[in-house]
Amino acid sequence: MLPETTEVLIIGAGPTGMALSIALHQAGVDHVLIDRLAHGLQTSRAGVIHAQTLESLEPLGVTQRLSELSVKLEDFAIRDRNRALLELDFSKLPSKYPYLMMLPQNLTEQVFAERIAALGGTIHREVEAVAVTQDSDGAHVTVVENGREKIIAARYVVGADGMHSLVRKSAGIEFDGAAYGGSFVLADVRLDWPVGPSEVSLFFAPAGLVVVAPLPDGSYRVVATMNEAPEKIEVADIQALLDSRGPTTKKARVLGLTWSSRFRVHHRLVRAYRKDRLLLMGDAAHVHSPAGGQGMNTGIIDAVVLGQLLGDVVNGVRSEAELDLYEKLRRPAAQEVLDLAGRMTEMALARNPVKRLMRNLALSVVNLSPLLKRRIALKLSGLSRAPLAQLPAPTGGSGSVVPAKSAAKPNLKLAA
């Protein structure tokens, strides 16, 4: 049953919202997690978890289970058809997790949901937020459950509610950027794949970009650009993409299609991560090309950092003003990710023969430099951005520290 008041209301129970819920549970912070969908994601969507994300998730108690379900890859290559332009070895990363962890998003969400349940938490599903307001006493969210409206009062509201975020719109925060031309295709396929199951491959071709990555069940994730993707994607569509962009010496053969989707991609970043009692994270704050597999990872680290801050503020360890640290740390990280994904996408979509030649030459030169290759691996793994996820010590709380579990409910006025 939904409560009338809470310290923190999280809107959106994707990986980002669930990661924040786990962090708040462990900090003993009273909170409510809602989602309009009846169940978690049943399709795989995001497929890679990077080293920095795994390090950030360690305190949440989920890394062991994620590891058990995943496949771990050390090699990443950028190719132009049969030719390897740039080959990266992730086994040399300065991390406990020197690899690319491949795991479909639905399994990541399953692990997070199991952790919430183990901590005694609940995901309130089929609950849709339809209005968000705030005043000096707190925030008020109108939700619809079973066709009936209810108002929940919260000290803070966190929007983990995606690119079309109600929280962001309610806060009046600008979402600067634009959409890429064309569309993207995402599919999980059974594949006779000449490159083999030990590498994530990003192919450049005049026809466009295609990424092929092994998954734990022996299938492969395929991500590709298309001018206009069909509404229903068939085996023949994926075969045509691989024929026109993948290796030619020995061609790939698509054996079956498990799941597919099409989508358009934006590159956008909010001007602010917080408006008083309303905060944003994940796709509500930043969206970009899937090149490099950075989206879900960036959102999860948003959640870990925000969870630490909200836990400290609610428990009296930090002052409320220190919530501004969240934007100070995470917006620069998101800007770096947008720049990285944008550069990779721009390179992949180059059609001009001269530009393609110069791109291939530049990548081949980089491939000769261990130092430059290490820098790129650190960027892709997120480890180069790790300082942007580290909170400074508290400057002082609001007085004596009161554990949130034993604290009284917040003094919030309910809207009429």
Domain harbouring 223, CATH code: 3.30.70.2450
Q: Which of 321, 346, 371 is the last residue of a domain?
A: 346
Query: Both 54 and 160 in a single domain?
Result: yes
What's the number of domains the chain is made of? 2
In a domain, 90, yes or no: no
- Digit-coded pLDDT (tens) for 61-76: 999 999 999 999 999 9
Q: Which of 239, 263, 287 is the last residue of a domain?
A: 263
Query: Both 197 and 163 in a single domain?
Result: no
**Cβ-count burial 92-101 (b if 16+ within 10 Å, e if not):** ebebebbbbb
- Look up tokens 């799941």; give the residue: 259
Full-model pTM: 0.92
In a domain, 40, yes or no: yes
pLDDT at 403: 38
Per the structure, the complete domain to which residue 67 belongs is given by 5-73+96-179+266-346
In a domain, 367, yes or no: no
pLDDT at 42: 58
How far, in Å, CA of 389 to CA of 334, rounded? 11
Q: Is the pLDDT of residue 401 over 50?
A: no
Query: Both 46 and 107 in a single domain?
Result: yes
pLDDT at 16: 97
How far, in Å, CA of 356 to CA of 205, rounded? 9
What sign results for the dihedral spanned by CA atoms 337, 20, 114, 317?
A: positive
Q: Is the pLDDT of residue 404 over 50?
A: no
In a domain, 247, yes or no: yes
Bridge partners (DSSP) of residue 221 are 188, 213
**pLDDT bracket for residue 43 (50, 70, 90):** low
From the list 30, 6, 19, 1, the residue with the least C-alpha distance to 116 is 19
- Digit-coded pLDDT (tens) for 259-306: 998 888 889 999 999 999 999 999 999 998 888 888 899 999 999 999
**Cβ-based neighbours of 348, under 8 Å, separated by 6 or more:** 202, 204, 208, 209, 225, 291
Locate 340 and state its tokens: 């990285």
What does pLDDT average to over the chain? 91
